[in-house]
A and B are shown apart, each in its own frame.
Chain A
Amino acid sequence: MTAKRVTFKLNGVTLEAPEGQLVIEAAKAAGVEIPHYCYHPALGNPGNCRLCVVEVAGAPKPMVSCRTQVREGLEVYTDSEPARRAQASSLELHLVNHPLDCPVCDQSGECGLQDYYMKFGRYDSQVREAKEHKRKRLEIGPHVMLDQERCVLCTRCTRFTEKITKTSELGIFGRGHKEFVDLAPGQRLDNAYSGNTVDLCPVGALTDKDFRFKVRVWYLDQTPSICADCSRGCNVSLHTNTKRPWHDEGRRLARVKPRHNPEVNQWWLCDEGRYGFKKFDEDRLGRVMRLIPYRRELAWETALDELASELRRELEALGPEGLAVVASGALSNEDWAAFKAFFVDALGCKRFLFAPQPDQLGIEDDLLRRKEKVPNLEGGKALGFGSAVASLSWERLEADLEAGKIWGLYLIERDAARFWGAKASALLSKPRLVVWQGPWKGRTGELAHFRLPATAHIEEDGHFTNFEGRIQAYQKALEPLGQARPDWSIFEGLRQRLGAAQKAAR
């Protein structure tokens, strides 16, 4: 149903909007920012922050724009003197009991109070009374810290737990200036989406335990990306700290925040995706190594030459049937294409393991989380992996290895050794050639013959296809660590070497 379009005036400019749209939304569409705390498109408009007040012609007093609907002939002023004064007064009331501990507050730099004070306030404080003190530094869940003093009681967080996660851990208690936000009795903010309350909180009342005191937000660079922790493909923004490496124990990726995409993840991100980023700088590979027959570091060109010649020798002697390739849905579409061109088209390889096995399956729910904890199985499917090319299972591969059918094992970002546990070293010593390729070392990285460092997806540009078939681009947020290269360029380098040799042989 499309609403009737009506004309109304915003700050003297005639605009068109669907009838019944909230003035705050219509203004946002026209590029006019009206300050607000409690209103959120997904969480409704309780109208309790009173910050979005505007002047409406004919109305005896300022109106809250989040509860005023557009109608024919409406005249709204957001920046007139009465509107400004009303907004500033509301802001001043919000700050009456605010502790103003910005220097130690993690929100500072992205705080609604700071931003709106600079944009809409700039009054001289008239408050002479002592501030109301409430409880600070409360660990209300595994990921979230609460500071009741800083809260402006917008109720966004309580409405999120009520309406979105339907867990209702948070509530508002008390009356008047003693009102405070807190956990419901006996509860802990421990749902799978608790981190979103931190994003929703316009002030420093709810902060990330994980990010607490690590880096100042103004040190961070933001890069649009796609979450790689399940096949949903949530849109995220990567916040990286590269200029001051002494913070956050040298981690380059400081935090992950959701990006609004109404088609995929709306405003939200699950805690798995949000807090899973620490792995990006841990156990990383930066050097090209050959571990067997003896351990030495190689230049990329030498490593690719050696690997290509070994592959060629075994292929000529034993044929492509004995080569098994274990891939992961973490490959980008670009990687998948190069993967197919190399392993299927150039080598004629037949044994693949890429379908999610228990090592890559997790919890699924009906909000965002998907069962497959890899981002890009669909990209492989589009190239025939899963339909034309069947996938092995770990058990089958294990059996084949035991039977000695496999002379070569090429593992890409999938830690077989961890999955096999104690059997791993025996199993991996069977083939003549074991290659480990990936951003992380894992256990397999210690047992392989070749160890090739690949970039993590945050270090390259690329595309993921999510479970619905939606192709989404992600951007390079960080420089590759050490010698790491994108997976596709490794496949391509090997393919060119083998191709050249085959041509020469012909």
Chain B
Amino acid sequence: MTDPLNQQLEHRSDGQRKMFSSSFSVICLLVSSLAIVVLATLLFSIFVTGGTWLNLEFLTASHRENNPEESGIGQAIVGSLVICSICGLVALPIGVGTAIFLEEFQPRRRILRMFHGLIQLNINNLAGVPSIVYGILGLTAFVYMFGAFHSIRINGQPDYEIGATYSYQVKTLGGQYVKFPARAKLQPTIEIQDSRTVTDSSGKRFKLNVFSPIDEESTLAKTRSKSVIRGTQAQLINREGADLYEAATIDGRSFTFPAKPTYSQFAKILEPITVTGPDGKSFELNVLSKSEAIPTDELVKARSVFADSPDPNKRSSASIFRENSFFHMHLPFSKSVLSAGLTLALVILPIVIIASQEAIRGVPQTLREAAFGMGATRWQVVRGAVLPSATPGIMTGAILAMSRAIGEAAPLLAVMGGVLGTTNHLSSLMDRTPVLPVTIFKWAGDENQGFEHLAAAAIIVLLAFLLMMNSVAILIRHRYEKKLA
């Protein structure tokens, strides 16, 4: 050996060399313990900031704008748990399946072996992809579905939908809300909100660009003939028996796209109709004209509206009201709990796969050979011998992956936006919900300093969840580690 370090050291005395060695070990210890100092400071500062704000009310209340005293994380906790469950239900079977395929079904043919290698390389690389990129993927693939289904978002009504009933709701003079079923109809005009595929007058189809008013207008002729400003009105026309919407690009080139029945936002009540009261009973609604006096009888009052009232509280214009059943679904998934769960599943999939692979590799080869010896097929070996003994390892990995999922904020911010609170409870997979990490993020960046304490309190709750999950993982590891050894 002739490297310079070697020669330097050769000229040192034994005592010096020993001194170097031991002082290096002291430096090492100091540097390593910095990690402990950092962790202690972090936990300390969070507990000091948020500890006193942690109470039962905080755990159950929901976010209030500009009012940190009454805000809480009730909805966020539920949201986080629901999204993590979806994520786990999707990622675990797929992840474990992939791991089994990679570990136990190694093919002999060359081309299949290359396929195997490709998937393995791909998984290792996916583990290094930033989570925000998964967020963008979730936005494109689940929220907008690559633009394959265009939605006219002005009424919030997707083209393909099940499990939703639309009705109109109106407040009677007696202050009760009554509703009556809405019938889909075509609106004479709609506003174009999303890019979509349209047909021009010569029958050619092209993808329409939609620019927001804040973006400057496109200047190049090529783009201008394919662009509209967001909110451009499209007129309902009927051509050869088909209902179409027609509008023009910035360039004045007219185009059409098929009209789907939509409910209008408001319905005017001009004649008596049958409605359903808050108690669920149907009755005929009285419609009074403006000149008539308000009825004195309470029951009649509760069953009357003015046909045209100047007072907005007594307005006779009924507004659209959607009730979602628990199985409410639509395409695309838009910004919903389902999109969020699926996106998170993609984020943790590589982690689940790698952890499961390691667990499966840890199963002694003798177990497999014994099972093969009894005439089992490869799958029977996997099911009967490999999986049962790999389960604790897989479970540990799965829990650790879930604890990654529950703290992940960036992908959720991408697919659900920064929701802090919703008026309705989470009732179906198509709803949006606040989640813990995003709530912490929004609160930490809030200008109202009071939310700083809330963010810290929410962090304590999040850390408590993580601690719980990890304790379970450690417990499983310890319990079963001895059995196999």
Q: Do A and B bind each other?
A: no
Give chain A's interface residues, CB within 8 Å of chain B.
none
